Structure 1
Amino acid sequence: MAKIPAFSELALGKEDPPFSAWGLYGEDDELGTLNRLTKEVVVEAAKEIKTGERISMNWPLDAQKDIPLFNRQAFHKNVYAKPPRCVNDDVWTFNTQSSSQWDGLRHFAYQKERRFYNGVTMDQIHAEGSNVLGVHNMSERGIVGRGILLDYHSWRQDKDIPHDAFKIGSIKLEHLKEVANAQGTEIKHGDILIIRSGFMVAFAAASREEIEAVRQVQPHNLTGVEQSEAMLEWIWDNFSAVAGDQPAFECFPSQREFYLHEVLLAGWGCPIGELFDLEALAEHCKKEKRWSFFLTSEVCNVPGGVASPPNILAIF
């Protein structure tokens, strides 16, 4: 694996966008920070399996019903019989980002430079027959390693820190570090970071009218991880992928001159997971007093896909 430079050394190329690591794993690399999930890292992560307990983080594909956020298409399912045999088939139609998802490297570019990971352009992505930066690259070996849950929602409730999932707000880096310390969770290089912000709790408690009101505000106002260079450095130094239960992972809209999406996806090739259902996972972690686990996620093998349901499990 390529030696990982210090965050202060980014961008690697003088003409490259801010904080980017283009070329670190080769000019044609399409895996980005998933290159950190080496065979050795996965073998070590497998030591997290003690009891065989398995917990899904997949929100139902139709969980947002007919009113998904960000004006995305709703999930549709058509179950039909095939007479004269007693047989059923079904057809699903959905936006890959209307429920639990991994954002792939085709999703979000550096907005000013209009370049995706390793300098790929929009024209290259939309060229006839092009599959460059598609999610199929992630599917070949999956996203497999040691996952850690930072249960920010439970921690902030104990600290009586106010929080509104449907308003602009930032989860501070210092708080995430305090959560890890309070849980006794050691962070290891190459970990897959998962943050429980409390969005699923808020969504479950919201009425249809309240969700409609959130959708009417453009851009949506949502709480998420803070945009800061310190946050970027922490992620760069430690993780192979990041995820949460929030719709955008980061605070939306951005409170800085950049989005984390730009640097993570376009700069480093770091997948971002969103809308993960972390309620059962958080309950089990609290019961076992252990917030680390073996994580396996098999991204859908769709050549040239932009995003994918995670098909994700935590194994204890």
Structure 2
Amino acid sequence: MPATSIPSFDELPVDKTGPFLNAWGLYGKDDELGFLNRLTDDLVKEAAKEIQSGTRISLNWPMDAQNDLPFFGRQIFHKQVYQKPPRIVNDDTWTFNTQSSSQWDGLRHFAYQKEAKFYNGVTLDDIHCDHSTVIGIGAWSEKGIIGRGVLLDYEAWREQQGKPAKDAFKAGIISLEELKAVAEWEGVELKFGDILIIRSGYIAQYNNSSREDLEALSKIMPPTFLGVEQSEEMLRWIWENFSAVAGDQPSFECWPSTKPYMLHEVLLAGWGCPIGEMFDLEALSRQCKKTGRYSFFVASEPCNVPGGVASPPNIIAIQ
């Protein structure tokens, strides 16, 4: 759906009887793609022009990266490799929480908290009834999350500008003003339907933290993290520009929220906008600095799990 076909931010909510800023019914009452409807064939075809060298960069953090200390009390990754005698053959089994490493938050993950409604008004009962797959993440696997990606390398900009570091493990905001300054510094042009990716420096700080520090941080409840600000200006910017948002932080937005609402409510439950979290952006940051280009082609296919809540992103950036 092109930019000219969507209502303006000031015309929201679409469903006037629904919650704050919702776009329920914009793509039909049974829609399960939300913002991914913006990724038209023409947009993806145009995005392929971003491929100039063919250099490929994975944005997937190892699935066991948090080892036995995952945040938000989530289950750890388990892998069992076993032989199948009498042949010299191995199989393995994996057991994991889909949000314990790099992930796309799907539409079943987060509801409007006061109204207890998910995207398009879906309820907990709709999700938890027998054999329900409504708004499951498996619907995203058919065409994937594929288009033009833009890295806003906040951490590199901050370092170059000589600005004080922000602790990624403490509640703090990356403001819209700062993100716009990053884009100007990079010389990157935003285009409607872009996949926004923000590097806050979280993964770099995590990798430089001792086990003792991580163990102490994992016990903080609720956890605290640096992320983008909660504001209507931030939401307007996302509505007017992007098809999905992501970052290297565990919550994308500042956590806990600094406002009475959370971006997760509007993005997931209101608009059907995928939220990517804990993407490993360190190699992408180096590549973009090397080429001086902060846009690229992105290909991501969430796992085809009907009725799933979230998924590893299986994501590659190509320049």
TM-score range, shorter chain: over 0.9
**Partner residue, 1:105:** 107
1:143 to 145, 154, 158: 145
Give the number of equivalent residue pairs. 316
Determine the C-alpha separation between the residues in 2 that align with 1:231 and 1:248: 15
1:159 Cα offset (Å): 2.1
Deviations 1:155-214 (A, max 9, x none): 011223231001110000000000000000000000000000000111011111111221
**Partner residue, 1:210:** 213
Determine the C-alpha separation between the residues in 1 that align with 2:213 and 2:236: 36
Give the counterpart letter for 1:284 in structure 2: Q
SS of the residue corresponding to residue 61 of structure 1 reads coil
**Partner residue, 2:270:** 267
Deviations 1:265-305 (A, max 9, x none): 00000000000000000000000000000000011000100
**Partner residue, 1:236:** 239
**Partner residue, 2:76:** 74
**Partner residue, 2:172:** 169
1:93 to 88, 92, 95: 95
1:191 to 168, 173, 194: 194
1:289 to 281, 289, 292: 292
User: Is 2:290 aligned against 1:305?
Assistant: no
Alignment of 1:13-162 (within 5 A): 13-162=15-164
Determine the C-alpha separation between the residues in 1 that align with 2:85 and 2:162: 59
SS of the residue corresponding to residue 240 of structure 1 reads strand
| TM-score, reference length from structure 1 | 0.99
Determine the C-alpha separation between the residues in 2 that align with 1:240 and 1:286: 24
> Deviation above 3 Å: which 4+ runs of structure 1?
none
Determine the C-alpha separation between the residues in 2 that align with 1:291 and 1:306: 30
SS of the residue corresponding to residue 239 of structure 2 reads helix
Deviations 1:109-134 (A, max 9, x none): 00000000000000000010100010
| TM-score, reference length from structure 2 | 0.98
SS of the residue corresponding to residue 144 of structure 1 reads strand
Stretch moving more, 9-18 or 28-37: 9-18
Determine the C-alpha separation between the residues in 1 that align with 2:202 and 2:162: 17
Determine the C-alpha separation between the residues in 2 that align with 1:150 and 1:194: 6
Stretch moving more, 105-114 or 4-13: 4-13
Determine the C-alpha separation between the residues in 2 that align with 1:161 and 1:135: 39
SS of the residue corresponding to residue 27 of structure 1 reads coil
Determine the C-alpha separation between the residues in 1 that align with 2:82 and 2:9: 54
Deviations 1:212-254 (A, max 9, x none): 2212221111100000000000000000000000000000000
SS of the residue corresponding to residue 99 of structure 1 reads coil
Determine the C-alpha separation between the residues in 2 that align with 1:31 and 1:68: 29
2:9 to 4, 7, 22: 7
RMSD, matched Cα = 0.7
Identity of aligned residues (%): 66
SS of the residue corresponding to residue 313 of structure 2 reads coil
1:278 to 260, 277, 281: 281
SS of the residue corresponding to residue 293 of structure 1 reads strand
Give the counterpart letter for 2:58 in structure 1: S
User: Is 2:252 aligned against 1:249?
Assistant: yes
Determine the C-alpha separation between the residues in 1 that align with 2:270 and 2:211: 37
Determine the C-alpha separation between the residues in 1 that align with 2:103 and 2:143: 17
SS of the residue corresponding to residue 296 of structure 2 reads strand
1:13 Cα offset (Å): 1.8
Structure 1's unaligned 5+ residue stretches are none
